Amino acid sequence: GAGVSQSPSNKVTEKGKDVELRCDPISGHTALYWYRQSLGQGLEFLIYFQGNSAPDKSGLPSDRFSAERTGGSVSTLTIQRTQQEDSAVYLCASSLYGRQGTNIQYFGAGTRLSVL
């Protein structure tokens, strides 16, 4: 019955370091989304997973960003060689079904990433 869980809640890192952000979706949800929310901005789509299908990576801003979803459940977003412009809140959402529009996405509280 738990909601979407993200960890860590806050991450401070030095420029050039790699970081991993974790998302535990709601149990039984087949679809999982990652978004980035910069200060004062809307949500920027990053990547979408649906079941065992190939992920939709069309929103990843550069090849420094990658994500995996293991066993159709937990997902990890990895940012390599972090830059200051990567500082943002990274939000994860899951939904029961993956079909567009039928989704109601349930969001985690996010990971606030600060790159010094």
Partner 1 sequence: AQKVTQAQTEISVVEKEDVTLDCVYETRDTTYYLFWYKQPPSGELVFLIRRNSFDEQNEISGRYSWNFQKSTSSFNFTITASQVVDSAVYFCALSGNTGNQFYFGTGTSLTVIP
Minimum separation from the CB atom of position 104 to partner 1 (A): 5
Pairing of strands 19-24, 10-13: unpaired
Please, are residues 2 and 26 in contact by the beta-carbon 8 Å criterion?
yes
Q: Which of residues 22-81 bind partner 1 (CB under 8 A)?
A: 33, 35, 40-43, 45, 48, 50, 56, 58-59
For the bound state, the minimum distance from the C-beta of residue 69 to partner 1, rounded and expressed in Å, comes to 14
Among positions 60, 67, 79, 93, the unique one binding partner 1 when judged by CB under 8 A: 93
The binder of partner 1 chosen from 2, 39, 54, 104 (CB under 8 A): 104
Q: How distant, in Å, are the alpha carbons of 16, 38, 80, 98, 104 from that of 114?
A: 12, 11, 14, 31, 29
Comparing CB distances to partner 1, the nearer of 38 and 62 is 38
Cis peptide bond prior to 61, omega within 30° of 0: no
Q: Which residues share a beta bridge with 25?
A: none
CB nearer partner 1, residue 81 or residue 99:
99
Residue pointed to by tokens 């994860």: 92
Residues in contact with partner 1 by CB under 8 A are 3, 33, 35, 40-43, 45, 48, 50, 56, 58-59, 89, 91, 93, 98, 100-110
